Amino acid sequence: MNTSNTQNIKIELTERQKAFSRKMLSPFKFKLFTMTQVPLGFIAGMKLIELNGNQCATTLPYKFLNKNPFKSTYFAAQSMAAELSTAALGMLHLNEHLKKIAFIIVDMDAEFLKKAVDKVTFVCKDGHLVKEAIEKAYETGEGQVVKMETIGTMPDGTVVSKFHFTWSFKTRKR
């Protein structure tokens, strides 16, 4: 995982990206998005609470529909909210490019460190990696792969899970 000093640089967003971020952070518009694009996310109660050039945060409530028989949040529900914290950064940074770039997960791994028995917040701080990969894919026409980390914590600060999603960014053939 690249943790260079570039993650400390504040990424300035264009007006188009700011509009996309506002739209995704609007509770009403985000519910519409999940209802039409990620219906299980809507049912699970996923929320997007932060989206800027550097990082994204999502939440997943601890509720009946998300629980497993062991009285903790089901790993698949956690995976869905964790993925969104990385995917939203990809969508934000792709928003500026006129040329279409496809992105898809090519690998994922996870560690489950504690039982998730409360709301979980997933934070991904790898916006700089996504931005660099998209710019390079756009400039060179070659596919780029980036591995992003997102960490899930409960309100008391307990880390419950860590996910690594490897995304591929590739210019589409016309």
What digits encode the pLDDT tens for the residues 124-148? Answer: 999 999 999 998 998 888 999 999 9
DSSP 64-121: GGGB-TTSSB-HHHHHHHHHHHHHHHHHHHHTT-SS-EEEEEEEEEEEE-S---S-EE
Residue 151's closest CA among 37, 29, 42, 1? 1
Which helix (H) or strand (E) is 150 found in, with range? Answer: strand 144-153
Specify the higher pLDDT residue, 6 or 47: 47
Confidence (pLDDT) at 7: 57
pLDDT band at 4 (very low <50, low <70, confident <90, very high): very low
Confidence of residue 2 (pLDDT cuts 50, 70, 90): very low
R_g of the chain, CA atoms, integer Å = 16
Q: What is the average pLDDT value for the chain, to the nearest integer?
A: 91
CATH class of 10-171: alpha beta
Report d(CA 159, CA 155) in Å as an integer.
Answer: 10
Q: Tell me the mean pLDDT in the region 70-83.
A: 96
Q: Residue 163: what residue type?
A: F
Q: Quote the CA–CA distance of 108 and 128 in Å, as a whole number.
A: 19
- Predicted pLDDT of residue 80: 96
Which pLDDT score, from 0 to 100, does residue 109 have?
A: 97
Give the residue among 92, 99, 95, 108 at the shortest CA–CA distance from 166. 108
Q: Residue 100: which pLDDT band, with cuts at 50, 70 and 90?
A: confident
Nearest to 93 by CA among 52, 49, 152: 52
Q: What are phi and psi of 71, to 5 degrees?
A: 60, 40
Return the residue matching tokens 């971020």.
21
Do you know the residue count of the chain?
A: 174
Residues of the chain with pLDDT > 90: what percent?
Answer: 78
- Return the domain boundaries, the chain: 10-171
pLDDT surpasses 70 at 68: yes
